[in-house]
Structure 1
């Protein structure tokens, strides 16, 4: 019948045995930035403290956004003039195909086909500038 012998090992001796066996503190194997000829740790990392947690992953979108991602002022339009000239009436066509009948005196001369940005106001009731959504010009400037 085998005999079992129990031996108490002091904690310091156990720690020393674990270090020698490679299971404990490995600070003796670590090269610090000061010991490296480049002044950086040998694995290319910097001495910055990194977060102990991983950042959250952003998933792949499953559908287009439900709200516009770029907010714009509702009274600012941009597009190409399908009717230009020296005013006071112009016709603007935006990228989405909407046509606006612009009215504004003394805003300059713009060639048909030029790209403009227009800050608009409410339409003047007694003015008809032709087809399109009627608006008045507060400011108009060429784009590009």
Structure 2
């Protein structure tokens, strides 16, 4: 809806307060938009007290150390922890394969060798 005081055409570029002037610079007397100035980051005074990357407690990533067609597998994570994995019908994994494993409670009846016993909920090869 317009009235006789509302212009019917847009003003030419650079004449509105929000339009940049020639060369993309703001008109004289106008401050530079905040998005044109990158923020200055300060160096932290000390390392964080708590990990900044939250890990899921039910996920493990590492290399298979005892492979085969299951149901028992061995896994060593990058930090050197050894796990005794147990899960039926999950496939064949060769020794040295890098995997991502979603784990659950260990089956008390399963004896899968040395390492922390855990049950396998899902296992995927990392490529």
The TM-score normalised by the length of structure 1 is: 0.64
Structure 1 unpaired stretches of 5+: 1-31
Q: CA deviation at 1:67?
A: 1.5
Taking a change above 3 Å as real, the CA distance of residues 49 and 102 of structure 1, as seen in their structure-2 partners, is same
1:107 to 90, 102, 105: 90
* Equivalent position SS for 2:47: coil
Number of equivalences: 107
Equivalences for residues 1-144 of structure 1 within 5 A: 33=14, 41-42=21-22, 44-46=24-26, 50-51=33-34, 57-144=40-127
* Equivalent position SS for 1:123: coil
Q: CA deviation at 1:61?
A: 1.9
Q: Say which structure is richer in helix.
A: 1
- Ranked by relative contact order (alpha carbons within 8 Å, sequence separation 6 or more), the top structure is 2
Instruction: Tell me the equivalent position of 1:21.
Output: none
Q: CA deviation at 1:70?
A: 1.6
RMSD: 2.7
* Equivalent position SS for 2:75: strand
